[in-house]
Structure 1
Amino acid sequence: MTRINAATAALSILALIVLASLVGVGGILSATAVSTTVTSSAVADTYLSTVAPGSNYGGATVLPVSGTQYHVLLRFNVSIPSGGAIISANLRVYSKRAVNGSVVVHPGETSWDEAAVSYATRPLWYPEELARTAALRSNKYATAALPASAVPASGSVGFELTMAPDVQASLSSRETSNPPQLVITFSTATPSPTATPTSSPSPTATPTVTATTSPSPTSTPTASPSPTGTSTPSSPAGVLPSVETVGFSGSGDVSDDSAIWVNDQAPNNSAVIADNKASSGGGIGVFGMDGKLIQYRNDGMIGNVDLRTGFSLGGRSAVLVGANNRTNNTLVLYTLDTAARTLSPVAARSIATVSPNYGFCMYHSSLSGKFYGFVTPYSSGIAQEFELKDNGAGLVDAVLVRTIAIASTTESCVADDELGYVYFGEEDVAIWKYGAEPGAGESRVAVDAAGGGHLVADIEGMSIEYGSSGAGHLFVSSQGDSTICAYERAGSNAFVKKFSVAANGTIDAVTGTDGVDVTSKSAGTLFPRGVLVVHDDVNTDGTTSNLKFVPLDHVFP
């Protein structure tokens, strides 16, 4: 009896030692939550027509959708691992043309047959609205943020799409290279660490932790990535904006890019310059750090905007502002009056660009001191690099010094003046990193790929936050899930974090993220450590898109 009690006591002590060791390293009493984003294409889609109620359109490549005449049916398969919890769900549809209207998403049945269903045999109709997209842009995906509860963890889910009365759009079907997509982010817990016994006289427990890693960037991502699910360190946290801009006049998603100018002597008098790409009434505006409009110029469909300080013009240092004008496919240039915070045109002539142009960014070489502007094409074609120079008469001219082959739609670009790189965002493919100097050629590497676990197409706005000695971050807009990704500025641009911009009081949350700009300099009382400016495609208390100003210390405390 004495021997049995002693053995039992010894085993109890050993168990306590093992348990204490496990707890000490976050063992069996804890588990690490990770998030995974999966993009799936529709497994069935069709449209219903009241004009031809007996006809079936299950093989159509274009899905017309309207208020009454045409409804679209979509079906997706969902499979979330056991124990997973859906964090967010986004429906993405590709519009063949620009439409000043939103696609409305309703719940839908899943029992219909793609090859047989017609309006006459349509499934049960649910008028409840789940979500809606922003105004549709030509040859672009539009995103509707669904309630997480609208998507099951496993099985099939259906949706029915409509629009407002008297509005009609044309969407790409699953038979094309731009199918309807369902983007789901879900959380799971990693397996609890387990103990590995050893033969050491002093019993110890060695936990085994299975870590997940980001995908290594590759130089040849595919144009149509297969649906993937890659774990990220944590689910996208929401940072809070402090200011939002008043909207431009009109309606729809008209303003989506910005450039920050910091007044180093009086940071509260800094400014944000923004585009207005509307086909009627488009132009460029200047906002104060309170979000109020200071100046507006009706100069056409301004696409992307950028600026650089220290440009020598007429023997004086100027703030040079540039943009691409989509109305006439030209490069437009301005100087900023830093006292009045107003723009004045300074282009020496009408500077023709690639047609149609789409995006723009600037570069100030630390090697030569010269200034450059990059213009991107609307679809496949070439990106152009122009040298910007004083023409000797107080105006700015541009000389084409380089072209870069572009395989598909690429709007956004950003240049790192100190490190000498320029980044292009090929929207459905990858972030590409090139040398920014005119003689750098077409050699490139991929920083990250759409569908690779961090970015959900479209890849949109990009900006550089400068730190000391190469430190800082590359910010990239992940439009498909309305988030921003941050990467290390130096080295191979390692992924750092992903976040969304949440609602704050009367300021609504950001959806459909497009253009971004950032500075680490003080931009006033509300932004002592810098500011991140983010586009919001649907401003809930306005008729047009607008910009949200986020204190940078909300992103990196």
Structure 2
Amino acid sequence: MRRDVTAIVRRRGAGHDGGRPAPRRHRAHGPAIAHSGVAHLLLAVALARGLAWPAVASQAEAASLAFPAAADARVEEERPEANFGADPGLRTDGGGDPEVRSYLRFDVGGVAGRVSRATLRLYVAAGGETADGPQVYRAGNDWREADVTWNDQPAPSGAIVDDAGAIAEEGWLELDVTRVVDGNGVYTFALFPQSGDGANFHAREADYPPQLVVATGDDRGGGPLVSTPTPPPGSGGDGAAIRASVETTPVRHGDDAADDAAVWIHPTDPGRSAIVGTDKLGGLAIYDLAGEELAYYADSTPNNVDLRYNFPVGGERIALVVTSDTDTDSLRAYQVDPATRELDDVTVRPIDVGIGVAGLCMYVSPVSGRYFAFVGDSSGTVQQWELFDDGTGKVDAAKVRTLSVGSTTEGCVADDGTGDLYVAEEDVGIWRYGAEPEAGGERTEVDAVGGGHLTADVEGLAIYYGGDGGGYLLASSQGSDEFVVYERRGGNAYVTTFSVTAGAVDGVSHTDGLDVTNAALGVAFPNGLFVAQDDRNGDDNQNFKLVPWDDIARAASPPLAVDTGWDPRRVGG
């Protein structure tokens, strides 16, 4: 459906504030608009003068600034050499129609403190509604409003930032761009269509110019400009809802097939890092950071997966991936080829562990530098196997320890810095053991099902590494569709709980395996990444959801740490 975007300009009517149509309380995502008449008028004056307008902050250290677009323009596939920078309308359209995209650039300055929320606001023109609004991407800043065309438009970078969904006419559309706005700087946003039902917006030349509202400190949206609910005192941010930004291609098998994931970090180009995900009914998949499947290995039925760097084999140091194969009750080992992001099987033999394997995690001893894999089963047995080069450039293993946890266990994670092993006993809670083979069976309860913060089953575990022993232990509380965060150091004190809800992609439910990394993974995930298996992926097969770590950190109260300094690629080297 195509519309003439020039028809949207300067539509006025009776009973309007300051001679302009009163914006409706409509949004795709983000906080509700709550302008008073005075604030609305002052904001309009500030934006007309090209100034940032400070919203009234609830605390002295918190503030919100609304920045006008410094440049905006649409580009049209049908007229690839035409420039529309001076037009008063922005538009997205696609599907069976020639595609139309729009670009907006903002110059952000005067922001002090941590950005707690950033919202891109667009006024939907009369007749500009759509059943499926645009997706937002970050894009390069090397374009000029007066010159940009379809042929030389800036390329989008990274994953989808937000997705508008259905929007109504004559109201403000709000898009959450928090994860790509981290302070002062220049920001370009690209609006890409998702259907042939086009959408029209006011450009900066029209009555209601686009805005970028940046909230800092404890202000998640500001006073009269934007308002958001405040957690009750002492809540600690429990139950914070985070939105997934990327999902992987569904696994190739239906039913309960996807299970666990591990993040592999590229040695020289973090933007080319990958996710290794298990399809436990038939194979192992490799995904890029946009969620696209790069490779699939239908050689086993892997339940869990983990990896470590710098494993010595064949005179080289490799990134070693290990899986638990439920069909043969054995361990499988693979080498990552950084040039192709593909896997090579380097197992010398089927490493039969003698129990019905399910859970698996790896460990590099900070004491000896030796590499280990832990495997668990439905009886509560956990075995520790040492991994080594068999002398021919292949990987073999020998059992060095057995633990009796009590009942079904799958999720586990070992801390390469502290030497701790965490095991999830599904119906009971989380236990902390020593990870060294000589540590024995002594254990400490971290948290419990029922009387603690967990709801059975307790599934995947992962560690977010920070500097100086800091960081977090994360657990999947599968029965409540939530994730629980604990301190990594000390007694693993409870920190917060969060869930992953629908955003640019659908939310996360009933998670089995998960992984997290603090590492900066290029423009897509510059402050780390959280990955979780999703049990109910709409009408599709199960898959994995990707969430920027800084989104999780920012939602907690007080915020969690964001520390990209620790490099897992140095462990074992």
Q: TM-score with structure 2 length normalisation?
A: 0.55
Q: Kindly tell me: are residues 211 and 266 of structure 1, through their superposed partners in 2, closer, same or farther at Cα, counting changes over 3 Å?
A: closer
- 1:26-45 matches, within 5 Å, as none
Q: Any idea what SS the aligned residue of 1:452 has?
A: coil
Residue 532, structure 1, aligned to residue 530, structure 2: yes
Matching residue of 1:246: 249
Letter in 2 for 1:549: L
Q: Distance in 1 between matches of 2:351 and 2:469?
A: 34
- 1:455-534 matches, within 5 Å, as 455-505=454-504, 507-534=505-532
Q: Any idea what SS the aligned residue of 1:404 has?
A: strand
Q: Any idea what SS the aligned residue of 1:476 has?
A: strand
Letter in 1 for 2:550: D
1:262 is aligned, of 248, 265, 273, to: 265
Q: Any idea what SS the aligned residue of 1:422 has?
A: strand
Residue 551, structure 1, aligned to residue 548, structure 2: yes
- 1:90-239 matches, within 5 Å, as 233-239=236-242
Q: Any idea what SS the aligned residue of 1:328 has?
A: coil
- 1:305-320 matches, within 5 Å, as 305-320=305-320
CA contact (8 A) 2:267 2:338 kept: no
Per-residue CA shift, 1:347-396, capped at 9, x if unaligned?
1111111321111000001110100000101223x211011001111100
Moved over 2 A (4+): 232-235
Q: Any idea what SS the aligned residue of 1:555 has?
A: helix
CA contact (8 A) 1:537 1:546 kept: yes
Q: Any idea what SS the aligned residue of 1:257 has?
A: strand
Per-residue CA shift, 1:224-251, capped at 9, x if unaligned?
xxxxxxxx64440111111100112231
Q: Distance in 2 between matches of 1:442 and 1:375?
A: 15
User: Alpha-carbon deviation of 1:307?
Assistant: 0.1
Kindly report the root-mean-square deviation, in angstroms, between the aligned alpha carbons of the 2 structures: 1.6
- 1:270-419 matches, within 5 Å, as 270-278=273-281, 282-380=282-380, 382-419=381-418
User: Alpha-carbon deviation of 1:264?
Assistant: 4.4
CA contact (8 A) 2:423 2:432 kept: yes
Per-residue CA shift, 1:480-506, capped at 9, x if unaligned?
01000110000000111100001113x
Q: Any idea what SS the aligned residue of 1:485 has?
A: strand
Q: Kindly tell me: are residues 556 and 537 of structure 1, through their superposed partners in 2, closer, same or farther at Cα, counting changes over 3 Å?
A: same
CA contact (8 A) 2:245 2:547 kept: yes
Q: Distance in 2 between matches of 1:397 and 1:251?
A: 33
Letter in 1 for 2:549: L
Per-residue CA shift, 1:408-467, capped at 9, x if unaligned?
000011000010011000000010000000000000000000112411110000001100
CA contact (8 A) 1:477 1:515 kept: yes
Q: Any idea what SS the aligned residue of 2:307 has?
A: strand
Q: Any idea what SS the aligned residue of 2:453 has?
A: coil
CA contact (8 A) 1:477 1:513 kept: yes
Q: Distance in 2 between matches of 1:405 and 1:430?
A: 15
- 1:411-430 matches, within 5 Å, as 411-430=410-429
CA contact (8 A) 1:434 1:444 kept: yes
Matching residue of 1:101: none
Q: Distance in 1 between matches of 2:378 and 2:300?
A: 17
Q: Any idea what SS the aligned residue of 2:358 has?
A: strand
User: Alpha-carbon deviation of 1:252?
Assistant: 1.6
Q: TM-score with structure 1 length normalisation?
A: 0.57
CA contact (8 A) 1:242 1:526 kept: no
Q: Distance in 2 between matches of 1:456 and 1:439?
A: 32
Q: Any idea what SS the aligned residue of 2:422 has?
A: strand
CA contact (8 A) 1:262 1:522 kept: no
User: Alpha-carbon deviation of 1:314?
Assistant: 1.0
User: Alpha-carbon deviation of 1:541?
Assistant: 4.6
Q: Distance in 1 between matches of 2:237 and 2:295?
A: 41
Q: Distance in 1 between matches of 2:430 and 2:457?
A: 11
Q: Any idea what SS the aligned residue of 2:259 has?
A: coil
Per-residue CA shift, 1:103-143, capped at 9, x if unaligned?
xxxxxxxxxxxxxxxxxxxxxxxxxxxxxxxxxxxxxxxxx
Letter in 1 for 2:523: T
Letter in 2 for 1:401: V
Which runs of 5 or more structure 2 residues have no equivalent in the other structure?
A: 1-58, 60-231, 555-573
Letter in 1 for 2:517: T
Q: Distance in 1 between matches of 2:360 and 2:238?
A: 32
Letter in 1 for 2:246: V
Which runs of 5 or more structure 1 residues have no equivalent in the other structure?
A: 1-25, 27-209, 213-231
| Paired positions, count | 324
Q: Distance in 2 between matches of 1:234 and 1:296?
A: 39
Q: Kindly tell me: are residues 541 and 267 of structure 1, through their superposed partners in 2, closer, same or farther at Cα, counting changes over 3 Å?
A: farther
CA contact (8 A) 1:385 1:400 kept: yes
Q: Distance in 2 between matches of 1:527 and 1:293?
A: 18
Q: Distance in 1 between matches of 2:414 and 2:355?
A: 22
Q: Any idea what SS the aligned residue of 2:258 has?
A: coil
CA contact (8 A) 1:354 1:377 kept: no
Q: Any idea what SS the aligned residue of 1:357 has?
A: coil
Matching residue of 1:81: none
Letter in 1 for 2:544: L
CA contact (8 A) 2:238 2:496 kept: no
CA contact (8 A) 1:253 1:538 kept: no
Query: Identity of counterpart residues, as a percentage?
Result: 43
Letter in 2 for 1:464: I
Letter in 1 for 2:506: D
CA contact (8 A) 1:289 1:524 kept: no
Q: Distance in 2 between matches of 1:528 and 1:234?
A: 24
User: Alpha-carbon deviation of 1:300?
Assistant: 2.2
Matching residue of 2:140: none
Letter in 1 for 2:365: S
CA contact (8 A) 2:487 2:495 kept: yes
User: Alpha-carbon deviation of 1:283?
Assistant: 1.2
- 1:58-73 matches, within 5 Å, as none
